[in-house]
């Protein structure tokens, strides 16, 4: 077996704002396997400034993986706990290599019968006019679940946007989620949650920064609206520590980003523990290209969850790789008669 890796820079169509700053580009990496004239491809979805494996020796570790690919998936995976995005890329690459088609990793009604996955429409941070224009577009596109990034502009302005939505649409018509990306201070978080709850919000992601377990546990206990933990899961690899986190914090939901937590294997561990403690969950992409998004979407469909998932990021980039994925009326489809980018493997290797 041969293996190689290659970087790829994704360019945002529009600069996208979060509480951690403005995103204009997204760096990602691909692992490509070759065996007996068959190819496998997996995406290592590194997120600079957020991924636990955003370290100087990242490329060196990718090189080591490719040089030792004959050790096999299980052996390599077990030695990469500090590099969850590479674990995920390897999982995909081996699934791809051993599949009937390079990109058909989890055959299902999603891939064979165009049975869609419900997804949320994402509204990025910006000034009020920009956020309202995004909202209008998402509603026109038929989304019934809207996720709004908050925490970067004036909080009263964000509340006014939510109020304008609720004046037009009831919770039965539009489900509202918000994502603070840890932007609230511990001191004023509960007060802000109380104000947000007036607009019948489905949930808020990561209201305060991760790592403050005592404060987050108290917030999850007293919150008037459900809290979903996101960044809090990053860097928690050991099963005992995962259970301790959920048992201590008792959130209402957790959010699973395979690129950030070690792929499908580690995500399933989180799901099992969440269900043990009666904690809800859903799956979200982490700004991968369509290669990684395709893998996450196909896997997510097999979980038989009916909640809207966070898988609508494929249209954010000007130079994403052509794929059969299509968003229509707030749902993600895999168009079985559509094609992947011509000579994709060759393109990435040159």
Active-site positions read 149, 257
In Å, what is the CA distance from 175 to each residue of 184, 204, 278? 22, 12, 22
Q: How far apart are CA 97 and CA 84, in angstroms?
A: 20
The helix/strand/coil state of 34 is: strand
- Give which of 14, 30, 21 is closest to 48, Cα–Cα: 21
| Contacts (Cβ under 8 Å, ≥6 apart) of 128 | 153, 157, 160, 161
Half-sphere exposure of 56 (CA within 13 A, CB side): 0
Q: Is the dihedral of CA 80, 27, 230, 73 positive or negative?
A: negative
Burial of residue 27 (number of CB atoms within 10 Å: 0-12, 13-18, 19+): middle
Joined together, the tokens standing for residue 232 give 């809090």
R_g of the chain computed on alpha carbons: 20
Joined together, the tokens standing for residue 282 give 């859903």
- Give which of 190, 195, 233 is closest to 211, Cα–Cα: 233
Q: How far apart are CA 203 and CA 225, in angstroms?
A: 6
Q: How many residues does the chain have?
A: 350
């Amino acid at each position: 077996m041969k293996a190689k890796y290659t970087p790829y820079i994704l360019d945002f169509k529009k600069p996208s704002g979060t509480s951690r700053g403005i995103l204009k580009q997204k760096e990602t990496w691909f692992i490509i396997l070759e065996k007996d004239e068959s190819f496998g491809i997996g995406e290592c979805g590194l997120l600079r400034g957020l991924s636990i494996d955003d370290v100087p020796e990242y490329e060196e570790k990718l090189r080591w993986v490719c040089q030792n690919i004959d050790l096999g998936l299980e052996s390599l995976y077990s030695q990469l706990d500090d590099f969850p995005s590479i674990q995920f890329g390897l999982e995909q690459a081996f699934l791809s290599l051993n599949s009937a088609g390079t990109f058909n990793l989890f055959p299902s009604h999603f891939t064979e019968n165009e049975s869609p996955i419900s997804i949320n429409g994402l509204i990025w941070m910006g000034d009020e006019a920009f956020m309202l224009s995004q909202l209008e577009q998402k509603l026109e596109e038929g989304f019934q679940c809207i996720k709004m990034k908050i925490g970067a502009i004036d909080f009263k302005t964000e509340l006014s946007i939510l109020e304008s939505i609720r004046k037009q649409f009831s919770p039965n018509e539009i489900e509202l989620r918000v994502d603070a990306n840890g932007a609230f201070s511990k001191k004023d978080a509960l007060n802000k949650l109380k104000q947000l709850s007036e607009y019948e919000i489905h949930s808020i992601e990561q209201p305060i920064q991760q790592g403050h377990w005592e404060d987050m546990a108290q917030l999850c206990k007293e919150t008037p609206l459900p809290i979903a933990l996101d960044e809090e899961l990053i860097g928690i690899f050991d099963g005992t520590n995962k259970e301790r986190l959920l048992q201590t914090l008792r959130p209402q939901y957790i959010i699973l980003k395979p690129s950030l937590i070690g792929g499908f294997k580690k995500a399933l561990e989180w799901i099992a523990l969440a269900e043990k403690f009666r904690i809800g969950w859903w799956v979200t992409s982490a700004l991968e290209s369509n290669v990684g998004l395709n893998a996450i979407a196909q896997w997510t469909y097999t979980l038989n969850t009916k909640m809207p998932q966070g898988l609508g990021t494929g249209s954010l980039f000007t130079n994403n790789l052509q794929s059969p994925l299509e968003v229509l009326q707030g749902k993600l489809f895999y168009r079985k008669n559509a094609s992947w980018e011509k000579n994709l493997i060759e393109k990435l290797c040159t």
